Structure 1
Amino acid sequence: MPPRLSEFAPALKAARVGGQKVDAQGHHWAAELKHADWGTAKAICLRDLGAPPPFLIDLDPHLNEQERQLAKEAGCVVSVVVQGGKNDVLRDRKSLLRFLRVLMADDGLVAMDHTAQRFWSRAGLDDELAHNADLDVESLFTTHVITDDVPEDAPEGTDTPALWLHTHGLAEIGFFDFDVLSPHESITSQGGFDALRVMAFGILEGKATSGMERFTVAGGGGDVRLVDVARFNRKAAAADIAMRIGADESHNVSRVVLCEPPGGFLGKLFDRPKPSQWLQQEVGDGNLLLYFPDSATDLMAERARATWAKFRDWSAELAEFAFPVIAKIGYETDTGGGREHLWFSVNNARDADVEATLDSQPFDIAAMKPGDRRRHPLERLTDWAIITPIGMITPRNTTPLRRIRENIDKFREAMKEIRALEQQESNT
């Protein structure tokens, strides 16, 4: 049975959201919602529309298994629409999430951001809405990773390498999405994902454009070419095109494939796009110099400081596993004009500062060396992470934390086995 508008009244009142019934245009009901700080939204209880397709739920990396099962049990849908613009897209999307969380109350099973094709569990929304920092660009899109089929005779638990990583969500807000072919596992599961965030920020700020021959994601060879997907399908080698398994019409518009920058005269003459080799290698170690724009760095810093108390709580909660706990801290360069943002191992996280040991090799700060340990004021903090075997817990992603909590006993046993194997290897 679809919920009645009156059933949402207690949650709306508690959040100081006003609700006015409006013409439903053939649906069960519709209401205009207003909040003094979030703005306005329209809620519609749609008729004859069930849960999203199960394959979309299974593909989403932001849900744990329990959350996926709940999402598949949904029987009716309430849609929420917030009008936004390109200038404040991160702030507008956060307002949408606030309205979604109010309407979920205690009965909603899952929220889906249709524009980004991203799902939000109740716990995921609570983590995001616990602070007032704008959304990160990561929340504007989702990544789908397509692999080849596992052979029937393969041992249980066998994984096949990723063939095709692609995004959804950027084209829906007036930009374009991008593909990475044969991505390294560091991009799909660990710190290399930041390379995709740099790419997304470049697209949002108009610095990365479709057809661009060279866009620098990181120092040390991290340059990519943005080849329009139609051109890629015409010019690339058949084996490279074939990696885009099942690429239907919706995956062949408003999209680029990240490729090798063009070579010399002959490379430009024959113009056969080749997938980026840099993204097929390990990306994301501590010495990688990613070219985040200043606006993105400021946003990351705001989020990192706003979630610092959570970081301290979660680090303590997971202390039994001795996961690496790291923080990114910015210092002025010797040549001036900017900061280097370096990764440190956290020794002691305090209210107003952090005692930490430098892991990175600075590029332009002669006075700092790997292994230096000191206290750093919190105003220099720009990011943090807890590194787990199933992904990094960051100010932008708490899914690994929820997965560990969901299977804490099994996880403890698995970690004991891993530690025992590591000990055996060190002894031999």
Structure 2
Amino acid sequence: MVIEEFMYRVARRPLSKLIALLPAAEPPPTFEELERNVSRACLPVTLRQNASGSRIRALLQEPAGTCAFDIEVNLTELLPRCLELARLRGGNFDAALASQFFVCVSCKLGRDVLGSLHAQLRLLAALAPEAVAMLDLNAFHARTGDSLRDAAAASVPPAPTSFFSVHSVFDDHRKAWLHTHGLQRMGCIELDVVGVRRRDAAALGELINNVARFFLDCGVPPPNTGFHAGNDLALVWLPWEAGLQHVDASPGGMADRDADHGGERGILFAPSKESPDRLEPPRRYVPMIEADPIFYVSPAETERMERLARERLPSFLALQSRYAKNGKWDFHVKLGFPTDDNADGYTCGGAEHLWFDVHEATAKSVDGTLLNRPYRISKLRQGERGTFDLKLLTDWAIESPRGRYTPESVLQLERGEANVSARPLLH
């Protein structure tokens, strides 16, 4: 149980700012055109404009209450140049560079940060239905217009990792500095790992992702207080100024700490094996992370993943039916089983989530082979094949010649196979 009064509280949460880049040939939308767009998207939104026309306010009616947003339409040349448009590829990159106008939706996130961010995405997609790209000013990254429309079309919010980025900075001596952008708006400190090898960056980036999810779900523990991100993954964090006293950080030292890389930012450390009071970079966890780590996932995040996996299960089933006999494709499902010490059910969280290689699947069941070694379920064995009820489904994944796809990204895979674009959210 999280006791909130003992959790670290972020002092100042910045506004969340998401931007839609409009097609090059598209003029800036008028207030009336914005009203028509949200009406066609069937969003319960009221737009209000001040007397001078310089400010637009949007009020979105949600089940939990009314969400307020500020809307701006302006020239793209006024945007900061530090955004990572390089994440876009080919025609998406060219379209983003050619854009002349943008629509920005900004807000202060509510207590349900994922719900607030999803509402912000849905409003942005409705206001700019033909957007060629979305820029996240807090996370310093860009996504395609199709990705914006995919996330807005779902009834389930995207993963927390969709709303922050992990940047990697390398020096000439194969040292790495990993750090996040985008977490502070969600009430979490930004996270750093310094003093590690370049070759360990991918594994430690995964560690940062999971620590961030843990902090977002359970709260940020006080600095220099031990916590576990997963099985045998003991960690502490220190404010970056104090953390730099414990490690030779280059890159990531004082010379690199400008306004965007300071503030409420913590450096992750592992207690030393020789002396728990001595802290060191968490590089000793790299082999464990690269093998088969068990990270802690909160019940709330498990439920979110399950809901999205079920919502987009028809896409998984259609692709599995089409490519089941193609050796270049693999289809996996994650099923949650009650553990031996909680055999009557797992309402208290007593579930172990296991991956299965799928041989055949229907809307109700799956024929699969267990890929993991169970830790707390004696009736299952790694390599065992059987038919299992999809009521146990919590996640799925597809390995294809185009890469790995999940419920978050499967619509992109389907479009690639069909060579089409996502439709605007118009009814």
TM-score by length of 2: 0.77
Matched, 1:256 2:266: yes
Q: Deviations over 1:271-297 (max 9, x none)?
A: 4x4211145436254x43222122222
Question: Alpha carbons of 1:307 and 1:170: their partners in 2 closer, same or farther (altered >3 Å)?
Answer: same
Residues 20-419 of structure 1 mapped to structure 2, 5 A cutoff? 20-23=47-50, 27=54, 30-35=56-61, 39-47=66-74, 50=77, 52-53=79-80, 55-58=82-85, 60=87, 63-86=88-111, 88-106=112-130, 108-148=131-171, 163-181=176-194, 182=196, 188=202, 195-219=207-231, 221-239=232-250, 241=252, 246-263=256-273, 268=277, 271=278, 273-281=279-287, 283=289, 285=291, 287-315=292-320, 320=326, 322-336=328-342, 338-388=350-400, 392-397=404-409, 401=413
Q: By how many angstroms is 1:110 displaced?
A: 1.5
> Which whole-Å CA distance do the structure 1 matches of 2:175 and 2:93 have between them?
22
Query: Secondary structure of the equivalent of 1:71?
Result: helix
Query: Secondary structure of the equivalent of 1:387?
Result: strand
> Which whole-Å CA distance do the structure 2 matches of 1:186 and 1:385 have between them?
25
Q: Higher strand proportion, which one?
A: 2
> Which whole-Å CA distance do the structure 2 matches of 1:247 and 1:312 have between them?
48
Q: By how many angstroms is 1:176 displaced?
A: 0.4
Q: By how many angstroms is 1:205 displaced?
A: 3.4
Q: What's the counterpart of residue 412 of structure 1?
A: none
Q: By how many angstroms is 1:166 displaced?
A: 1.7
- Structure 1 unaligned blocks of 5 or more: 150-159, 409-428
Q: By how many angstroms is 1:331 displaced?
A: 0.9
Query: Secondary structure of the equivalent of 2:123?
Result: helix
Q: Deviations over 1:51-80 (max 9, x none)?
A: 6445522465xx444323322222222211
Q: By how many angstroms is 1:241 displaced?
A: 4.7
Higher relative contact order (CA 8 A, sep 6+): 2
Q: By how many angstroms is 1:97 displaced?
A: 0.8
- Alignment length (residue pairs): 384
> Which whole-Å CA distance do the structure 1 matches of 2:52 and 2:174 have between them?
47
Query: Secondary structure of the equivalent of 2:341?
Result: coil
> Which whole-Å CA distance do the structure 2 matches of 1:282 and 1:102 have between them?
43
Q: Deviations over 1:342-395 (max 9, x none)?
A: 111111121122221101001111111111111221221111112357753112
TM-score by length of 1: 0.76
Between 1:6-15 and 1:18-27, the stretch displaced more is 18-27
Q: What's the counterpart of residue 38 of structure 2?
A: 12
Tell me if structure 2 keeps the 8 A contact 1:346–1:356: yes
> Which whole-Å CA distance do the structure 2 matches of 1:307 and 1:283 have between them?
28
How big is the alpha-carbon RMSD for the aligned residues of Structure 1 and Structure 2? 3.6
